[in-house]
Amino acid sequence: MSASPTSPTSSLHPSLGRQIENQDSVPFQWHSLHKLNSSILCLAANDEYIFSGNQDNDILVWDKKTFELKATLRGHTRSVLALVYAQDKNWLFSSSGDSTVRVWSAATLKPIYIIDTYAETCAGDLFTIAWCSNLQTIFIGCQNTSLQWFTFTPPSSSNANSGTTTPNGTFVRKAHKFFDSYPQFERKPADLNANNPQLTTTTTTPSKSYFQQVFSEAQRLGVPATNVIESEHFGYIYCLIVLEWESSTTLVTGSGDETVKIWTCSPSGPSLSHTFECNYGAVLALAAQGETVYGGCQDGRIKVLDLETKTIVRTIIVQEGVDILALSVFDSDLYASCANGQVKRFSGSFDCTASWQAHDGIVLSSVITGRNSNRCMLVTGGNDDNIKVWSVVPPTPRFQSASKGEDILSDRSRLGGESISYALSKFVSIPSISCSPAHREDCRQAAIWLKKCLQQLGAKTQLLPTCSTGSTNPLVLGTFTGNQGPSSRLRPRLLFYGHYDVFPAPPRGWNSDPFAMDGKNGYLYGRGVTDNKGPIIASAFAAAELLCGRSLGVDVVFLIEGEEECGSVNFSTTIEKYKDQIGHIDAILVSNSTWISEDTPCITYGLRGVVHCSIEICNKLPDLHSGVDGGGVAEPMKDMVSLLSSLMDRQGKVQIPGFYDHVRPQTEAEKELYLRLSDIVKKPPSYLSSRWREPALTIHNIEVSGPNNPTVIPGSVKTQLSLRIVPDQDLNTISGSLCRFLRSSFDEMHSPNELKYTINNPADWWLGELNHPWFKALENAIHEEWGVEPLRIREGGSVPSVPYLEKAFACHAFHLPMGQSSDRAHLPNERVSLNNLQKGKSVVARFLVKVAEM
């Protein structure tokens, strides 16, 4: 289900899809094809023809160049319900209400096979079929809820036929007691004449009709009893699609029981691997792009299903109560055909970019054809007896979706600077802004891209869902398995932690598009190049280079999250759930900060923790006018100012009781270190100490209700503050002390207003083990690569996942910064030195070699 690649756009709009467009973007209608008094139930197409399956049992063949009727394929005795073109065989498959699947040559337009469904299962209408070229199998979705399939094998195969075969090799299907029955008043036993009078010959017929002559040339086949799965769905099977990859085949089925089922296919048949509960009416249509499946439901909703994480990542509301009867995908665009005659187009970020009235009635079917030509068409069919042919153009997203099969590495045999820059440019182009709901799909696409990148570099990869609803971004897990040396000892296992999400990047202040990486004077500019996409790519290339040279003596486990910039939501619960899959870990490597200067490499050994707190003071009144009510009400703003001022004295000392009691005293070694570093940064030692090893309180903002002008008394005032904590302050103790202090200070005001406060995303402090052998190995690797002794520094910021991972895996973490102090993470014109990335890759490679030798 892949689509052809498209070139990236030069637009500054930072999203996967296009901006919402006006009616000028509605596709141009090329042509209309009409069949009198016959609804168009299904469509298929190849390079030459458009095939339409009709309510009157016929299949019409239309020439794509002239739009003239080329031929009419007759033989079905009930409405044609599904059509599938098999490109590898140049066959057209059709299924019908007559319980048969017919196979036609798309070259000669002649029948080749007639496939009868398994007679004992009362298959009924065959609503849907899907062809699998990998297995040479046609899958059939039946009215009786059974899933059936027929595999084209040599005649000697035991799976070739069912029913009976006459001595001359002619297949005779058994009559079915229900579907081959006469009306009750005729009191006749069931036989083939009841259901297929045109195709049945008798001894009294002097000569065959035209149809009998034609179909006497078609081989009759049957679905064997072994190729039937009954009652896995508790409703009609309305839709099927097959997803084929090099090493696997997946079948997806949608049903009237409101579920989508995922099947793993093998030569022995499909086996159920997962069930999605859609819960919004029957699933009437399916489409797919890579491992993303779209399910069109009866009540006007489209479910977006992620096969990798087994989660429903989004629900698109197309139109309440209007059935979605057909879906077609063109690159990242999704076309939804509706029961009210409309077709709507959705971008890769699920914005509706076009909507138009396509038919005077119900749109029953659609197909995209001509993907690789200059004449790409969306063909729709309706119950107004019309086929409409629309000119469609490929979308122009910012980045090429990783699900389309592109090679991320420009040259797999080279893992140097050019390939790092190429891969990083692809990674940066995805605006994976985790704090913005509008970019949730971009974040998922970034995870998919990174998974594929690590896989191409040689890792075994998977996505780990962080919640069952898909509302948070998945983790990327990739493991580079080291070479087994002559010793039987276990290889060390190193976990590399990073994050693929980025901070927002408003275009103001940037000299280039923040999501189109720009190289200039030895620096790479773009959001995420230093925080944290660049270090991730450099470290992955280091592991890949050693693996390629059979020099990787450790297992390197990449664990990359997508929520770090918004508090690592559900990170810890996800790690606990998948801890066995991650495996034993001996140490953790992080690269998520910068040097203290421009020229001297550093190694980070400490981070402060953080306690975020949201506070609101409000009354039960609307916003008031200060000229009318000023002085007559207890103003929430005055209470907020008093409350915040109680947190610190005039010298800036935090007034929370016991706040400083457990702060670890500064050692003489630290004092000497800060004195030496002060000469480098040209700042006093106290400046470094206050940033790195002393706790602090910061008030970030004040937000008011109402229009925020000088005459309004706001009825609600909100603020956000944070506490940075250090060794040996206890995170829970500090959080509790803050809450108690806020309550007691507010109660002393005797205000009639209401106080609310919440603690958000707390993170503990972290201090590295300076005497650990792996710390020494990392220092030595930096020294060997750069030729200078690295500076030991601490950071004032927080990385919530680092102390958690240490506790979860009972091991030490080591922090290697790759960026310079001027890299401007979170600011406009974020950058990273290409030289730093290349040397950072080499440092990681040296470190891995040293660890393996220990």
Low-confidence ranges of the chain (pLDDT < 50): 1-23, 155-172, 197-213, 405, 410, 488
Q: Can you tell me whether residue 835 is helix, strand or coil?
A: helix
Mean pLDDT taken over the chain: 89
The confidence score (pLDDT) of residue 2 equals 35
The confidence score (pLDDT) of residue 776 equals 97
The confidence score (pLDDT) of residue 7 equals 32
**In the numeric block, which tokens belong to residue 483?**
């070479």
| Matching residue, tokens 């000392």 | 653
Q: Which of 349, 274, 259 is nearest to 309 (CA)?
A: 274
Q: Mutual orientation of helices 834-853 and 417-428 as an angle, nearest 10°?
A: 110
Q: Which of 658, 523, 499 is nearest to 591 (CA)?
A: 499
Q: Which of 86, 88, 167, 87 is nearest to 101 (CA)?
A: 86
- Backbone angle region of 271, left / alpha / beta, with phi > 0 → left and psi within -120 to 50 → alpha: beta
The confidence score (pLDDT) of residue 744 equals 97
The confidence score (pLDDT) of residue 193 equals 62
On the 0-12 / 13-18 / 19+ scale of CB atoms within 10 A, 584 is: middle
Pair 410, 419: CB distance under 8 Å: yes
Q: Which of 366, 283, 291 is nearest to 323 (CA)?
A: 283
Bridge-based pairing state of the strands 791-795 and 602-607: parallel
| Residue-wise DSSP of 739-808 | HHHHHHHHHTTT-SSEEEEEEEEEE--EE--TT-HHHHHHHHHHHHHHSSPPEEEEESS--THHHHHHHH
Measure the CA–CA gap between 165 and 220, rounded to whole angstroms.
Answer: 10
Task: Give the C-alpha distances (Å, rounded to integers) separating 201 from 172, 424, 640.
Answer: 12, 69, 93
Q: Which domains does the chain have, with CATH numbers?
A: 48-277 (2.130.10.10), 414-608+766-853 (3.40.630.10), 609-660+695-763 (3.30.70.360)
Give the number of other CB atoms < 10 A from CB of residue 437: 9
Q: Which of 789, 794, 792, 784 is nearest to 839 (CA)?
A: 784
The confidence score (pLDDT) of residue 457 equals 95
Q: How many helices, marked H, and strands, marked E, lie in the chain? A: 15, 49
Measure the CA–CA gap between 171 and 721, rounded to whole angstroms.
Answer: 80
**β-sheet with 91-96: strand ranges across:** 80-86, 91-96, 100-105, 111-116, 219-222
- Per residue in 819-834, pLDDT (tens digit) is 999 999 999 999 999 9
For the chain, the helix, strand and coil percentages under 3-state DSSP, each to the nearest 5: 20, 35, 45
The percent of residues in the chain predicted with pLDDT above 70, rounded, is 87
**In the numeric block, which tokens belong to residue 320?**
């309440």
Give the number of other CB atoms < 10 A from CB of residue 672: 11
On the 0-12 / 13-18 / 19+ scale of CB atoms within 10 A, 631 is: exposed
- Per residue in 706-730, pLDDT (tens digit) is 888 899 999 999 999 999 999 999 9
The confidence score (pLDDT) of residue 471 equals 85
Residue 193: phi and psi, rounded to 5, are: -65, -30
| Residue-wise DSSP of 82-140 | EEEEETTTTEEEEEETTSEEEEEETTT--EEEEEEPPGGG----EEEEEEETTTTEEEE
Pair 184, 79: CB distance under 8 Å: no
Taking the model in full, what pTM does it have?
A: 0.84
The confidence score (pLDDT) of residue 177 equals 61
Terminal C-alpha separation, the chain: 48
| Matching residue, tokens 């800060």 | 674
Q: Can you tell me whether residue 536 is helix, strand or coil?
A: helix
